[in-house]
Amino acid sequence: MNETRLIACPECDLLQSRPPRSRRGATKCGRCGATLSQRASATRDLTLALSLAATVLFVVANCFPIVGVWVNGALVETTLVNAALSLYADGMWPIAGLVFVTTFLMPALNMAAMIYLLLPLYFGRSPPGPQLVLRLLRHFAPWGMIEVFMLALLVAIVKLQHVATVMPGIGLWALGAVMVLLAIVAVIFDPLDLWAHIDRARPEAWPEGRPEARPEVHLDVAWIATASERFRTAARAGLYRCNGCGLLARPLLQSQAGSCPRCNSSLHPRKHNSLTRTWAFILAATVLYIPSLLLPIMVTGTLFNAQSDTILSGVVYLWSSGSWLLAAIVFMASIVVPMLKVLSLTYLACSTQLRSPSVPTRRTRLYRLIELIGRWSMLDIYVITILVAVVQFDSVATIDAGPGAIAFGGVVVLTMFATLSFDPRLIWDAVETEVE
């Protein structure tokens, strides 16, 4: 088993010592400032308790209405899942699927994975098959967007209160509590600490019994432990950092990297075809960005006429109705952020492709910022989902999603895929070449 205290930064590949488990507070990389370990003072028992509470509240949030609208003696209420089903019934299945995945499926899988991993540990046992669950948990996290949905609910309520009586439901308050609990869990949960615990408790948890059973991967503990004394980065030391669990391994043949002896993920010196995939997603998002702004994102029908609204006209409506703060938020999230994401990702991909060594720290921080704010572009999609679900008064008015919603949803998803595909360690590879 790999007992070395050496780790590699996931964003700049710098080799450094792992902080002791007794240390509290987040540990930052000494070169790029990336978070290496949470090391929060909270215990795994507290994380489990919060996850269980969030699960119970999530069930409540999906059993009761999140919001209701009362117009002319008629009441229309909707739950979280029914809001997505309303879009599906209108033929907007791509948006319905996106809303269902980001507001229900991914948060549910996230909570289920946390409980699966932590509940056996509470009773002094190790969870079966933790490698796969921890790998999946890493992929679930970026796609759970309950906090964005809650802000969209606020925007939708502001839009509706001028024409109807809006009644927040029990599901709304439960969903708000879930949002807070999951945010706390995300801060205090440290997957590296759990990997270390699994290694100590279950040597047999390694695939095929022991790491020595993997002939294509070499885990020379003594050599790896002293690598930082001779080499600056993992790449220079010939070490591969596993993207799934963070383990450092040394392939015997660079052309046959093999798989991680701990979690069975494929080992690569950098994310596989990182720049190629990033460019593909950027170009596809750019193509969809223009129609997402020009095509109607929402169609409102009344007894007298039908009105089509674009993203920009929705911002104008909020501004003219006196909701200046919400208008500014929607403008930033739905217009400015997607445009800046495309431009920023283009800059990062281009400068990395040209192997530019300039301002690597700032470029890494830019990547981190893009990763942080990318999900908030879903705001308008969620607003439309709520309005479509509750404004269905055949005798008064109906709201349907327009073709612009599909284009805009595609922009959001593609830019997120571009961000996840980009490997920030490529930024620093050019810097290492300069200092050779």
What backbone torsions phi and psi does residue 361 show, to the nearest 5 degrees? Answer: -65, -45
Residue 96, judged by CB atoms within 10 A of its CB (0-12, 13-18, 19+), counts as buried
**For residue 348, which of 300, 278, 301, 417 has the smallest C-alpha distance?**
278
CB 206 within 8 A of CB 226: no
First to last CA, the chain: 33
Using the 8-state DSSP alphabet, how is residue 378 labeled? G
The residues of the chain scoring below 70 in pLDDT are 1-5, 19-26, 38-42, 72-73, 163, 198-231, 251-257, 300-307, 323, 392-397, 433-436
Q: Which residue has the tokens 């507290």?
A: 46
**For residue 192, which of 436, 423, 8 has the smallest C-alpha distance?**
8
pLDDT at 374: 83
Q: Which residue has the tokens 């070395």?
A: 4
pLDDT at 330: 78
pLDDT at 103: 93
Written as one letter, the residue type at 300 is T
Question: Rounded mean pLDDT of the chain?
Answer: 80
Render pLDDT for 24-67 as a digit per residue (tens, 0 to 9).
Answer: 666 788 788 888 776 655 678 888 999 999 999 999 999 999 88
**pTM of the shown model:** 0.84
pLDDT at 205: 46
Which secondary structure element, helix H or strand E, spans residue 86, and what is its range? Answer: helix 80-89
Q: How far is CA 103 from the centre of its chain?
A: 12
Q: Which residue has the tokens 């509750």?
A: 390
